[in-house]
Amino acid sequence: MAVVLSLAGAACSKKTATATVDLKTDDQKTLYALGLVMSDNLATFNLSEPELDYVKAGLTDGALKHTRQVDMAVYGPKLRELAQARASAGAAVEKASGSEFLSKAALEKGAVKTATGFVYQEITPGKGATPTQSDTVKVHYKGSLVDGTVFDSSIARGEPVVFSLAQVIPCWSQGVQMMKAGGKARLVCPPELAYGDRGAPPQIKPGSTLVFEVELLDIVKK
């Protein structure tokens, strides 16, 4: 499923250091995968290695039914407060870098900043019809963060995506309506027209500006 619809694709990580663990059996590898899945739920906290040690301690005590060292009636609410604070701080950082990136993108040759705030840049002009909000389209696309990390790509999967323009993020819906079938364009989407302050962790952090290269293959007939 496309990231613009459900964000099922996995982002590429720039961190190369890995934990020291010997994965030999399928069960060991499956349990390691469980840890990766659980880590997705921690993305908002942006934990340091020392902080992660405390999380590991809590996980160990909880999983092995050891005595809990804190009162969850007290620290459950504090956990939510910490999540909100970390998310807000992270979003502010992402918004600052994203705003700078978007401003520079708007100055590139052929780029246009729209009234709603995203940048549209035609790469290859199309010769077909232009879709409307109610249309279903077939596209190929690549989605990237402002640092160049690719978080989703129908091109890499080798399969175009079909969706209604009424069911995608505003930047996509508005941007594709500026294209003609057969054309290709670059969309630089501010968070307000993408995933906002909630983001789509772990692939997309709160407040992220996103870059999409979109090829409009066809307008699907009803």
Active-site choice (152, 163, 204, 219): 152
CA neighbor of 98 nearest in space, from 202, 193, 164, 3: 193
pTM for this predicted structure: 0.75
- Please state, for a pLDDT cut of 90, what percent of the chain lies above it: 77
169 annotated active-site: yes
pLDDT digits (tens, 9 = 90+) for 81-114: 998 898 888 899 999 999 999 999 999 999 999 9
- Domain ranges, residue 180: 84-220
Active-site choice (101, 118, 120, 212): 212
Give the residue from 69, 104, 127 where a domain finishes.
69
CA neighbor of 23 nearest in space, from 31, 35, 14, 15: 31
pLDDT digits (tens, 9 = 90+) for 156-211: 999 999 999 999 999 999 999 999 999 999 999 999 999 998 888 888 999 999 99
CA distance 178 to 38: 40
Active-site choice (151, 163, 204, 219): 151
The total of structural domains in the chain comes to 2
Query: Do 127 and 210 belong to one domain?
Result: yes
What CATH number does residue 135 fall under?
3.10.50.40
Which residue bears the tokens 């009234």? 115
